[in-house]
Amino acid sequence: MAKSFAQQIISWYKNHMRELPWRLTEDPYKIWLSEIILQQTRVAQGLPYYEKFIAKYPTVHDLAVAPQDEVLRMWQGLGYYSRARNLHSCAQSVVEDYDGHFPETYEELQKLKGVGKYTAAAIASFAFKKKVPVVDGNVFRVLSRFLVIDKDIADPKNFKLFFEASKELISEDQPDLYNQALMELGATLCSVSKPACLLCPVAEECQARIEGKQTELPIKLKKVKVRKRYFYYLLIEQNEKLLMGKRGPNDIWQGLFDFPLIESKNVLSTPELEKELSSIFPKQKHFKYELSNSVKHILTHQIIEAFFISIDMKKAQIKINGYSWYDEGEVEELPKPRLVDKYLKENFY
């Protein structure tokens, strides 16, 4: 009897797998941590963060008792910061509600903060050898090609179709290796633009390749709308200290620190800017300020054009709600958005 799809990709995987640290362990904590870090993130970008976290927090207990600002600072630069907040909260839940042990089933795992269908399937199969298929961007791509599934992968109602398709193909005794092989195939050979079909272990049976449709699949319809925002950051320094504050909910960078901010839907003229400034500092009649060149910062749904305004306030009493003074050492330790961190590194430290 011919080798099954699962058998073929698993034997290919065994010969080509990259020996990443989270693949050389069965510790659910390490597997969970790696999966959270790798959500919407490439291995090359996430790997140093994984090493850093494991060194700082060897066990889920170490992570649970850490201060949240420290965890956010550790996460700085990786993006999607709700992952860090949920990571921390999840660690505390595992310690308090599960006696320090991760739950083992697909359903129970999804009750944890930051753990959805993909991550639950990954932990259940990698750590506990459960027969649950993972469905991520790679799986959508590989299966849509292998089976010629021309349904929109951006539409959540089509998730089940791929989940069930993979469930039909998953290995009975090596579900973990099957899932990893499927993702690795998508991450390496079965790439978005130029799939390396000549190297593919299942090219012979790939329906898209047979029909010459590799690059037409998968179908993804949704396009993101991008919003433009203009940030005028106020750099206010007194006695070697800088005024900074923690960002609140319902916007980007929740929990991270930045400077007092004037936001606008469009570029401000000099009079407009000065009017804004004087409304923030009503008591100051005249003060000097210096406006930086604009810095573009691109997010998934927003393009931010930022200006940094250094303000000379002399010895005036300055108080802005929600902001406090931090010296250089303290500023260094605060979790900050990339945009802010870069500016500080280039102009202050």
Q: Which residues bind DNA (CB under 7 A)?
A: 20, 22-23, 34-35, 38-45, 77-82, 86, 110, 113-120, 122, 136-138, 141, 155-157, 180, 183-184, 186-187, 192-194, 220, 222-225, 250-254, 297-302, 337-339
Least Å distance between CB 5 and DNA?
Answer: 19
Q: At 128, phi and psi to the nearest 5?
A: -120, 10
Taking the C-alpha atoms of residue 314 and residue 316, their distance in angstroms, rounded to an integer, is 6
Beta pairing, strands 257-258 & 323-327: unpaired
With the CA atoms of 92, 94, 100 and 105 taken in that order, what torsion angle do they form, in degrees rounded to the nearest 10? -170
Q: Least distance (Å) from DNA to the CB of residue 41?
A: 4
The tokens describing 22, both together, are 């989270």
Pick 14 or 275: Cβ nearer DNA: 14
Active site residue 35: yes
CA distance 304 to 267: 11
How far the first Cα of the chain sits from its last, in Å, is: 66
Preceding omega of 218 cis (within 30 degrees of 0): yes
Report how far residue 298's alpha carbon sits from residue 305's, in angstroms, rounded to the nearest whole number.
9
| Residues 165, 142: Cα–Cα separation, whole Å | 11
Shortest Cβ 211–DNA spacing (Å): 19
Q: Work out how close the CB of 240 gets to DNA at its nearest, in angstroms, rounded to a whole number.
A: 26
Closest CB to DNA among residues 223, 319: 223
Amino acid at 249: P
Residue 131: both structure tokens together? 């027969």
Q: Which is nearer to DNA, 111 or 241 (CB)?
A: 111
To DNA, the closest distance from the beta carbon of 133 in angstroms equals: 13
Nearer to DNA, 39 or 264 (CB): 39
**Are 342 and 298 in contact, with CB atoms under 8 Å apart?**
no
Q: How many CA atoms lie within 13 A of 134 on its CB side?
A: 29
- Residues 291/309, Cβ–Cβ less than 8 Å: yes
To DNA, the closest distance from the beta carbon of 159 in angstroms equals 9
User: Where are any strands of DSSP class E within the chain?
Assistant: 227-238, 241-246, 257-258, 261-264, 288-291, 295-298, 302-312, 323-327
Q: C-beta of 73: minimal distance to DNA in Å?
A: 12
Selected catalytic residue, list 19, 26, 35, 205? 35
Q: Length of the chain, please?
A: 349
CB nearer to DNA: give 4 or 40.
40
**Nearer Cβ to DNA (40/347):** 40
> Which residue, 184 or 202, is less far from DNA as judged by CB?
184
Q: Could you say which DSSP state residue 221 is in?
A: -
**Beta-bridge mates of residue 235:** 310
What is the set of active-site residues? 35
